Chains A and B, each alone.
Chain A
Amino acid sequence: MPSAERKPDHIAQLVWPGQRSELVTLAATGKSGGAGEIFSIEGMPGFVAKIYHATTSQAVLAKYRHKIQWMMDHKPALPQIPAEYHDIVQLAWPEALILRRSRFAGFAMRKITFERTLELDYLLNRRQAAQEGFDADYGKLLTVCFNLASVIQCLHEKHIAIVDLKPMNVKVHKAELYVSILDCDGFHIATEEFRHDAPQVTPEYVAPEFQDKVVMHPEAQDSFALATIIFRLLNYGIHPFTGVASDHGKYPLELAGRIKQGLYPYGKVAHKSVRKVPASVHEAFPDDLRQLFDRAFASSGHSRPSVREWVDALTIYASKRSGQISPCEKGHLRFSDRPCPTCLREALIAGAEVRRRSFVARVQAAPARTLKYVRRSLRQTHSSPFQAALAQAQLFTLRQLAPPPPISTRNAIALEILWIVGLLIAFWWAG
């Protein structure tokens, strides 16, 4: 990129662990976030640079530098992946410091190939996932859940927590099903020699005890967010705190409020004031997963399953050899010995669609049906004895209530005109 080469700001110094350094040229990619902007590094296609915004203060930059330096020196051991997938980046972890004019400006990290991946957010909607070239089934989704939980588990072992864990921060490799976690420089670190907080959160994924508060136990927060993501992935994107309120007056409009009040309607014991969304397929989940979900969402936090528990529970479902996932009669993958969630979902949606179409058809046919009924009543040609009897009864009731005037309709209208004129005169006098 010639224009980039001409700008001195695009010349940067990479400082690798061990203090080996080199000069590189950065080129803007147009991708920008809350903290910084992403640049490609010329001559290093496997890496990208994150440069903090120019508005970032020197004090904050100093903190970032300290954190990035620590992260470079303490890279966590990640789950093992086969050698042929060596290019898969599970964490966008800082690999080198970037200096500009000898000042800290950002860091270099391995590049996640966006062409091979899609945002985890897309998996919450099967149609959207299909459009992105990912044919979601329960086998793949459980593998993604397992891989995500495994990466988080590795971080927790090093006392590192994500805190702002949400589908948008996670990329999924379409073919290999491994996950890549972005924004690693925002992680919470709490080791004996180094500590850095992570103030950024997303309310829809924050545990009830941390709603409107500082996240005091980041691992517990990660466990809650992970459980929420797994629930949504397995339940067609339905958030565990989305429901139908019995008492609308007290039901918070926002998910954060519902999380805070513990309005989780998908438990094995039904919630007394909120009902499940009709399209939910959670009843097709195996008991061990449902218990984990109940502990994650229905408990007040003290018995919430850890990420380790999720990894243990998901292992058997992510493995083809375990036999815990098997095809249903229609060929969809489902939990063995459980109803097929895909068939259940299709039936629920088809039922709703049939009811909708039937209702629309009835509404559309109503005028014609009414005319037909009136015509048959007038001609007394009802084919159904019930309708004939009903028509007779209606005529009788009408006669009882208001017998037809003994005068013609025109005469009746004339009388009513006089009556209305009289009414207007009375109104003028009384008003």
Chain B
Amino acid sequence: MSALAALLPWVLVLGIAWRWRPPQAATPSAWVLLIAFGVLGAGPLWFHVLAHSEPPGFDLWKPTVAYWTLAAIMLIVPPLGGGYPAKIILGNYFVLANREWRWINRGFGLFCILLGGLNLAAASQASYKEWEGFKWSCMVFLLTVVLFRMMFVWLPILAEVSIQLYRRATATYRYLSNRFSS
């Protein structure tokens, strides 16, 4: 599969996202996250699509890089007045006070520092198999965030889409029935 074919679906999806982007200006924390993930996203793009291989030992470092990058964003951006990145990760539909967001943000940041450190410790001390087990068990964190997002963000969107589709379907039905009955 050529690099272009591999990139095409991503370009298409991101193109839709760009076309449907909100008219409101993004908060600084959103920009920081976008840039950080843009840079991080270059990793798989480079290693898998263009270079077709990873440097030896890089896989041991990867989780730490990801966790510490996230931790850095979460702990550095709020004091600089850039908002709370945790709000974007969890979903800004939760009505919480800034104080509560601040603590959630700090908690996330510290947790990411801990995970990154533990990953390094596991990679250097434990066997490769044990490290792999640790790495995948850390995915529970990611899974929890996904479940939160699904429950409180994706479901309302799905409900909204369903209602709109229903409205359109009934309108179409009415239009067609009027057309054929007259």
Instruction: Identify the A interface with B (CB < 8 A).
Output: 371, 374-375, 378, 398, 401-405, 407-419, 421-423, 425-431
Contacts and interface: CB of A to CB of B under 8 A. Distances in A.
Nearest to A414: B20
Nearest to B24: A407
B13 interface: yes
Contacts of A430: 62-63, 66-67, 135, 138-139, 142
Contacts of B16: 414, 417
B170 to A, nearest CB: 8
A409 B70 CA distance: 28
B163 A402 contact: no
Interface in B126-157: 135-136, 138-139, 142, 146, 149, 152-157
A429 B22 contact: no
Contact of B149 (A378, A398, A413, A419): A419
A414 B34 CA distance: 13
Interface string B163-181: 1101100100000000000
Contacts of B17: 414-415, 417-418, 421
Contacts of B135: 430-431
B14 A421 contact: yes
B160 A426 contact: no
A429 B163 contact: no
Contact of A429 (B65, B153, B155, B164): B65
Given A426-B66, A430-B138, 6 more contacts: A401-B152, A411-B20, A411-B22, A416-B154, A430-B135, A431-B139
A412 B154 CA distance: 9
B160 A409 contact: yes
Q: Which are the 9 A-B pairs with shortest beta-carbon distances?
A: A429-B66, A414-B20, A411-B22, A417-B17, A410-B20, A414-B17, A425-B41, A422-B37, A430-B63
Given A426-B66, A431-B135, A404 B156 contact: yes
Contacts of A404: 156, 160
B69 to A, nearest CB: 8
B7 interface: no
Contact of B20 (A402, A413, A423): A413
Contacts of A411: 20-23
Contacts, number: 103
B53 to A, nearest CB: 15
Interface string B14-39: 10111111111000000001100100
B157 A429 contact: no
A418 B63 CA distance: 21
A429 B62 contact: yes
Contacts of B136: 431
B86 to A, nearest CB: 13
20 contacts: A402-B153, A404-B156, A405-B93, A408-B22, A409-B160, A411-B23, A415-B22, A416-B154, A416-B157, A418-B17, A421-B10, A421-B17, A422-B33, A423-B146, A425-B43, A426-B40, A426-B66, A426-B70, A428-B44, A429-B63
Nearest to A407: B22
B29 to A, nearest CB: 13
B121 interface: no
A423 B157 contact: no
B85 to A, nearest CB: 11
A414 to B, nearest CB: 4
Interface string B38-63: 00110110000000000000000011
Contacts of A378: 163, 167
Contacts of A414: 16-22
Contact of B95 (A403, A405, A412, A422): A403
Given A374-B166, A407-B24, A409-B160, A428 B43 contact: yes
Contacts of B13: 417, 421
Contacts of B95: 403
B156 A402 contact: yes
Contacts of B37: 421-422, 425-426
Contacts of B21: 411, 414
Q: Which of A374, A402, A404 has the most CB of B within 10 A?
A: A402
Contacts of A422: 33, 37
A423 B41 CA distance: 10
Given A409-B157, A431-B135, A426 B142 contact: yes
B72 interface: no
A128 B40 CA distance: 75
